[in-house]
Structure 1
Amino acid sequence: MWLSPHAWRRRLVFWVGAILVGAISVVFAKAADWAQLLFHGMRSEAWWSPLLLTPIGFVVSVWLVRKVFPGSEGSGIPQAIAARHLRTHDERQHLLALPIAAGKILLTLLGLACGASIGREGPTVQIGAAIMLRLARFGEIAHERGLILAGSAAGISAAFNTPLAGVVFAIEEMSRAFEQRTNGLVLTAVILAGIASLGLVGNYSYFGSTQATVVQQADWLLVAVCGIGGGFFGGVFSGTILAGSRWARRVITTHPLQRSLLIAGFCGLAVAVIGVATNGATFGTGYEQAKSAVEGQALPATFWLAKLVSSLLSTLSGIPGGIFAPALAVGAGFGSMVAEVLGSDAISLAVVLGMAGYFAGVVQAPMTAFVIILEMTGNNGNVIPLMIAAMLGYGTSRLVAPQPLYRSLAWGFIEAERARQAERVRHEAAAAPPEVPKG
């Protein structure tokens, strides 16, 4: 078996796929940075330009989603989760085809180039899953569900340079279990994607680094407030997304394209107004603001709330784009505000605790939250406080929004695909010639 040419072909195809996910993640990250620089360059030339550029960009993006790249909307994580629950390759292709992955990249870059408050990490999950699904067919690898899981984990690992978080994300969010037959696939994919990322950009901390830890009793108050408060607002964000998505589906039922474009235009205009009012702070991923806060620079007290609303509108608009980086920026701003209100000098500590509480509240995946922040900031001395903040955030969020965000959105894609398959069966049955009675 080990020396079988067919087995070696499968291994080589899988290894190439994992390395490809890592390389594409790096290129995507560089392109995302360029798109944001392009937008801010235009904004610096004319402060009012987002008031035109952002709503127009949102409308164009949603039109392309509807007409050219159906299935590319939103984060991309729900599509990858849904694909694991579908039964056939053809069903999965409607969510993870390579043209959809290409559209995901292009339209996420378009969103960043017009000021949307979105991230690239969720889209990287869908892209990684799509690459692995395509190579599964090319390499004649039967276990498609395992490869989708591996591609998703590799995407998170390469996007954040957090290999351990990639594995935890696969366990906690994508599969809710670690199947023995897929653990090797996930670990190998994460390792190879990580090697590709390291080879192209080197080792780095995504949000800078901090050595701030809990050193006195007053710091535990920061843990409690950031965990509970972050979780509450994360739950509000998550619940509003789910309620808003259901409302949007009802509203666009009779005129899907026209009303989708109208919603996108309104959301884009609102995002532009907030961005102009905050002097551009809420546009884009929020990476720069979060990085500066992690390194000890206080953020404006209202930044987190403005960023939360801007991210909410960007998500509800229906454009492709993730919520990971904006959520971490919101959490950083919330932690900074808490430190200011409580009169604490431990800004960096409050920031990472706020990131853990809010992020865990949004995605309701506490292990992923504290591991990803631990790896991103390089602070190994803060494990227990981060774990507590993440668990407090998760527990509080569950009280506010009982339904997990990604899982709930995934079921929408599953139900839509099942309805499409049922309609296809009815159409084929109606088109079939009637049976001629024998005799």
Structure 2
Amino acid sequence: MTQFVKEKFNLTRLRSVLLGLLVGLMSGTVVSAFRYCIEVGLRYSRLVYGHLRIAPFVWWQWALLIGVNLGLALIVAWLLKKEPYISGSGIPQVEGQLAGELEMHWWSILWRKFVGGVLALGPGLFLGREGPSIQLGASVGQGLAAGFKLSGTDRRLLIASGSAAGLAAAFNAPIAGTLFVLEEVYHNFSPLVWLTALAGAIGSDFVSLNVFGLVPVLHLSYSRSLPVSSYWHLILLGILLGLFGYLYQRILLVMPRWYRNLTHLPRPLQGIVPFLLVILVGYFAPNLLGGGNGLIVGFGQYVPSLLVLIAIFVVRFVFSMISYGSGLPGGIFLPILSLGAVIGAIYGVFMNQLGLLPHVYIMNLIIFSMAGYFAGIGKAPFTAILLVTEMVGNLTHLMPLAVLSLTAYLVVDLLGGA
């Protein structure tokens, strides 16, 4: 009878799916709390800068603001010194763990990444929540595996499932979360891996949707699909995104050396630089604070003029390098998506002024450019296409997304991008 049950039902896969679902529910709870704390911190930061803009100059208020940011930078530096593996997005650390090259203590990573991420993203630094969310989910998976005394492949499956769950909860994108783990983290498309990862992503997204609602994270809409006769814009825009993507890669890779040579600060203390510089950004342009999702959604109501868009791009490009290059706990996906949206807006407005593109299609290019820029920099085109599709909440643009993503990917690849 037992043999019949084993043949009739694949208990190994059922067990993996149930474990993945449990990891997803737990990761979704952790990441949703992480998202909520960041949103509260960012909202409070904008209120503070809004008050400073309209109130008369009072020196002690500015001194207090500088002191608070310095204090936050020192707390994060202490966390980084105690646990260096929480630095950056955390995705390379998870990849190394799954490859058997790194071993990390899950609880030390979990609470320090949570606190460090909230303290870095809450004040409005140009960092994304998705990288820390992936590492938080992976830590939950590792912790659950330790609780069930699992090792080897079973342990790696739960870590991968937690990674997918983290991205799914960060962006309400379960399919992209699953594919990201397969394409970029685990590098394995076996049924057991994707089933467990999908179960984790679904469980996590269920929790996230209950907390933040059903509206897509980057809900944008356009009135008309881009006609096939205008697809030549996708090729030109893809080349532009590829060139800027390669530039982004090259500068980002040298930022640690620049920080070391210019500041002479120990690595954990280099976060002081963006913590102080963000005060200037917050005072002059509080709406630009954060990873950039507010900026992207704002394009749905109003697309600024060409000169304003170029200024926004320069500020976001430079400060995202300063923020991420410092090694603070924070991701890079949202800053990349926001820069892609701005490049798409610049191209669309410019072509519209030349009379080569109707204004109604500018929003299309903004959406497509997010995927193209992500595909070029992250070298993960499938994830880029599905991520933007789920975050925007529209399935009608898969073909132009694919054309633009492939073009940007090839340009970066031909230039030798890593």
Shorter-chain TM-score bucket reads 0.7 to 0.9
1:29-428 → structure 2 map (5 Å cutoff): 29-47=35-53, 49=62, 52=66, 56=70, 59-86=73-100, 91-94=102-105, 97-142=106-151, 143-212=154-223, 214-216=225-227, 219-246=230-257, 248=259, 258-260=265-267, 263-277=270-284, 279-293=285-299, 295=300, 297-299=302-304, 300-301=308-309, 302-343=311-352, 344=357, 345=359, 346-403=361-418
| TM-score after normalising by structure 1 | 0.80
CA–CA distance in 2 between the matches of 1:178 and 1:98? 29
- Native 8 Å contact 1:212 1:379 kept in 2: no
- Native 8 Å contact 1:10 1:140 kept in 2: no
Percent identity, aligned pairs only, is 27
Question: 1:129 deviation in Å?
Answer: 0.3
Question: 1:58 deviation in Å?
Answer: 6.5
Aligned residue pair count: 390
Question: 1:54 deviation in Å?
Answer: 8.3
CA–CA distance in 1 between the matches of 2:182 and 2:20? 20
Question: 1:77 deviation in Å?
Answer: 1.1
Q: 5+ residue gaps in structure 1?
A: 404-439
CA–CA distance in 2 between the matches of 1:206 and 1:133? 28
The residue type equivalent to 2:369 in the other structure is G
What whole-Å deviation, never above 9, does each CA across 1:99-134 have from its counterpart, x for those lacking one?
222111111111123221111111000000000011
- Native 8 Å contact 2:125 2:274 kept in 1: no
Match in the other structure for 2:26:
20
CA–CA distance in 1 between the matches of 2:271 and 2:189? 38
The residue type equivalent to 2:302 in the other structure is Q
Q: Structure 1 residues 66 and 289 mapped into 2: Cα distance closer, same or farther (>3 Å)?
A: closer
Question: 1:9 deviation in Å?
Answer: 8.8
Q: Matched residue of 1:93: which SS?
A: coil
Q: Matched residue of 2:124: which SS?
A: coil
What whole-Å deviation, never above 9, does each CA across 1:223-248 have from its counterpart, x for those lacking one?
22332212221221122222223555
Question: 1:10 deviation in Å?
Answer: 7.9
CA–CA distance in 1 between the matches of 2:286 and 2:345? 19
The residue type equivalent to 2:24 in the other structure is A
Q: Matched residue of 1:281: which SS?
A: helix
The residue type equivalent to 1:43 in the other structure is Y
Question: 1:303 deviation in Å?
Answer: 1.2
CA RMSD after TM alignment: 2.8
The residue type equivalent to 2:27 in the other structure is V
CA–CA distance in 2 between the matches of 1:201 and 1:138? 29
Question: 1:402 deviation in Å?
Answer: 2.4
Match in the other structure for 1:425:
none
